[in-house]
Structure 1
Amino acid sequence: MKNGLKITVIGAGSSYTPELIEGLIKRAEELPIAQLWLVDIEEGKEKVNIIAGLARRMIEKAGLAIQVEVTLDRRLALKDADFICSQFRAGCLEARIRDERISLKYGMIGQETNGLGGFANACRTIPITLEICKEIEALCPDAWLLNFTNPSGMVTEAVLKHTKVKAVGLCNVPVIMQKGIAELLACDEQEIIMQVAGINHFIWARQILHNGKNKLDYIVEQILSGNDPLVPSNIPAFAWPAELLKNMGMIPCAYLRYYYMSQDILEQELGEANGEGTRGEVVKAMEKRLFAIYSDPTVNTKPKELEKRGGQYYSEAACELMSSIYNDKRTIMHVNTRNNGTIAGLADDCVVEVSAIITKSGPLPLNVAPFPSDTLRLLQLMKEFETLTVEAAISGDLNKARRALILNPLVNTGSVLEAALLETVRENIDFMPQFAHLLH
């Protein structure tokens, strides 16, 4: 890669972008950035301009000479880019809120990356991502695409199966787990090795190594005693079923509560939706407060309030991933990449979320011990749901959509599914043109 890197951020009007800027500033000596291009769409124009103002103030305060450009012209932003951070939300928060409300209406958990909501999000997002990838192939074929657009695993799988783009998917959940484990062990993060495996928002910590010992059982004891800093800040406090956690021999990520405690979580979500609102509605109000802070011309650091957003540390992970690739650092990170035999029982060409050594050539995943058979069956089921969802998102095949959703444990089947699926397509048709033929 050449000196004077060009970094392009797609969906730069996101409230997370100041964390990305902070991470790039911290790594100024590792990443010689000349240009930072912030790109968004017309609907995000006001937000991306506010972000650009804050970014310039942060960079000026750090004494760096990084040129910040704002544009709605994606092709201009992509030309000759070295790294592309994808963090857009197709349909904005309004689409997320619709997904949550439709799911709850039909008695299903409403969540942006799981169940019916995860399916809808994938079907809106994957076609746009593949358009972006065509532009990358033409304008910056050597660039790395760092994807943390949700649902990250399915979006990354679509890219790796259907394009030539070099892509790695990211999620903040394993990052938060690792930081929480370091807190419980009262040590620096660099002193531990946490090995995770699964698929996006469906992972388990398999090993926690510190000073030559596996500390997994100790961490489980701490969690069961009520001390659980492994949970993202956007997830309300909950307690794992004690006997389940004691006997698993691994630690599930917080999103697995949707599957291990479905009825409890559904009741909780219904209560929240009738009170302060769905998570999407809460986030929308939070974003309004954040952008009011970002607009203040005296603010030149990442506001503390950003840590209350569920995606905390996403951007930090993106910056470390960039540096690890650019500098061939061989850091161990938790990423979405091709399985290639890493998890026994899953297809080699599917995308998994695993711990990997990050090199100049991309991620080299660390092989994991075989999963217990019951967990593997659940993982295989969810991977088949993802595979069919990706196919449906590209083809607009409603039967593949049905087949995908029937497999998902969070989705009710029968006439309820048919009604929920058709309403989802109808309400999202502006972002799901692949299904337009169904409405004529």
Structure 2
Amino acid sequence: MKLTILGGGGFRVPLVYGALLTDRAEGRVTEVVLHDLDDSRLYAVARVLDEQASAVPDAPRVTATTDLDEALRGADFIFSAIRVGGLEGRANDERVALAEGVLGQETVGAGGIAYGLRTVPVAVDIARRVARLAPDAWVINFTNPAGLVTEAMSRHLGDRVIGICDSPVGLGRRIARVLGADPKQAWIDYVGLNHLGWVRGLRVAGRDELPRLLADDDLLGSFEEGKLFGVDWLRSLGAIPNEYLHYYYFNREAVRSYQQAEKTRGAFLADQQARFYEEMKRPDAAALTAWDRTRAEREATYMAENRETAGAGERDADDLSGGYEKVALALMRAIARDERTTLILNVRNQGTLAVLDADAVIEVPCLVDANGAHPVAVAPLPDHATGLVCAVKGVEREVLAAAESGSRTTAVKAFALHPLVDSVNVARKLVAGYTDVHPGLAYLR
């Protein structure tokens, strides 16, 4: 089976390959094609993968190419993890937004809109090529903003594109661990959009254990979200929000913290990864060791400004292992082998949330089999959550409309309607600032 990884020179690709190395069952991936626009990054990542495979007999064969059509032909699965504009683009997204006093995070608020505006046209082109060159392939999208990009691609690929994210998986795992439950045996009632969802229940053997967690101060304050949001606020919500909702619930504090930081997250990662890729140019460099060291630093500093604002302290060691690669592998296994499973995924709504239309991509538990991912019926969201979900989905639709039409006016509308952008004039300044620094937004007229 052939897996093509778009963004194959990306730093986290070894996580995906490492997961593939653990799969020895019949029907596993035997060929991995890395595609990237940057030869040097492809070379660096290929070196890491080669060291990973050195002690694994019959490891999946790895090839690399900068030719997109060549990479897509004959693929059974296509994993999309591209970053349009690179980490320099992410740093610019943050910088322009913070200069206007609003959040520049890559998936939330102004930064997420800017990232979406330059990523959607590229993702749509990829989707059209997949439909032409590999119509039977399944596309697994991890490209951010994941829900928005998945929806853009679904307009050309239908349900054969599925978005994944490690945030809900990590959240469910943390809650189960605190409650003394096996995450594999727990049903997680999670509903929302990508980076905008809530755990409303965690059922073990038919019993919802979340009320027990919400009633216990010690348990509730003992894990990442309890420290990040505070026990009182979680109890008020009656649910455990995705960590990215910290940007909404504590927006003023988050913006101030990011403005005061020595470097934004994007600038930090750009510098850190530049050192890694530079080190890989040395033939004698220990590729896997260098990658492991860089990844550990990356994970330990994840959402550091938010945790500092909340006084949450350091991340727990158990939360430094990522997880999206495991979701991707489980998804591929379920489809390729009809190994039925349940995963939290980004898929078309199909009536799951009545407040959104059928084609809106949402993030919910799905039953997965050889025919793809099927969203599970869920109870309606409370009004406060419904309001946020509908507002942000409305913004995503404006982003898609702007990307399709090239309308600068529509792009301004997308920014102005976002709950974290507080003025139409600020929206206009954001569009001006982003078009100045991003050549990929020159299409907006």
Deviations for 1:102-132, whole angstroms, at most 9, x for unmatched residues?
A: 0000000120011111111011111111111
* 8 Å contact from structure 2 (residues 128, 156) kept in 1: no
Instruction: For 2:223 and 2:345, locate their aligned partners in 1 and report how far apart those are by CA, in whole Å.
Output: 23
Instruction: Find out whether 1:213 has 2:213 as its counterpart.
Output: no
Aligned residue number for residue 33 of structure 1: 29
Tell me the TM-score normalised to structure 1 length: 0.90
Counterparts in 2 of 1:143-222, with a 5 A limit?
143-164=137-158, 166-220=160-214, 221=216
88, 92, 96: which one aligns with 2:90 = 96
Per-residue deviation at 1:343? 1.4
Name the CA distance, whole Å, in 1 between partners of 2:233 and 2:287.
50
Q: How many aligned positions are there?
A: 420
C-alpha separation between the residues in 2 aligned to 1:392 and 1:190?
41
In the alignment, which of 46, 50, 61 is matched to residue 44 of structure 2?
Answer: 50
**Is 409-418 or 13-22 further displaced after alignment?**
409-418
Superposition map of 1:4-403 within 5 A: 5-29=1-25, 31-41=27-37, 44-164=38-158, 166-220=160-214, 221=216, 225-229=220-224, 239-272=228-261, 275=262, 277-288=263-274, 290-291=276-277, 296-297=285-286, 299=288, 303=292, 305-307=294-296, 308-309=298-299, 310=302, 312-403=322-413
Ranges in structure 2 where 5+ consecutive residues have no aligned partner: 303-320
Q: What SS does the corresponding residue of 1:62 show, helix, strand or coil? A: coil
Identify the range of structure 1 (85-94 vs 160-169) with the bigger mean alpha-carbon deviation.
Answer: 160-169
CA distance change for structure 1 residues 298 and 104 in 2, over 3 Å: closer, same or farther? Answer: closer
Provide the secondary structure at the position in 1 that maps to 2:102. Answer: coil
Identity in percent: 30
Contact 1:126 1:390 in 2 (8 A): yes
Q: CA deviation at 1:370?
A: 1.1
Q: Contact 2:181–2:204 at 8 Å: present in 1 too?
A: no
1:7/1:36 contact within 8 Å kept: yes
CA distance in 2, matches of 1:225, 1:33: 40
1:417-428 equivalences under 5 Å are: 417-428=427-438
- 1:42-63 Cα shifts (integer Å, max 9, x gaps): xx32121111122122223111
- Tell me by how many angstroms 1:197 deviates: 0.7
* CA gap 1:431/1:32 in 2 versus in 1, 3 angstroms: same
Tell me, what secondary structure is at the counterpart of 2:3?
Answer: strand
Q: CA deviation at 1:306?
A: 2.2
SS of aligned partner of 2:71: helix
Structure 1 gaps, min length 5: 232-237
2:220 and 2:231 in contact (8 A); partners too: no
- Indicate the RMSD between aligned Cα atoms, in angstroms: 2.2
1:329-378 Cα distance to aligned partner (Å, 9 max, x none):
22111111000111121111110011101111111111111111222122
- Quote the Cα distance in structure 1 between the aligned partners of 2:244 and 2:70: 37
Question: Aligned partners of 1:293 and 1:26: how far apart in 2?
Answer: 28
CA contact (8 A) 1:137 1:164 kept: no
Matched, 1:409 2:419: yes
Runs (4 or more) in structure 1 with deviation over 6 Å come to: 292-295
Distance change in 2, residues 1:184/1:63 (3 Å): same
For residues 160 and 306 of structure 1, do their structure 2 counterparts lie closer, same or farther at Cα, with a shift above 3 Å needed?
Answer: same
Question: Deviations 1:392-418 (Å, cap 9, x if unpaired)?
Answer: 122211222222222211113132221
**1:298–1:338 Cα change, 3 Å:** closer
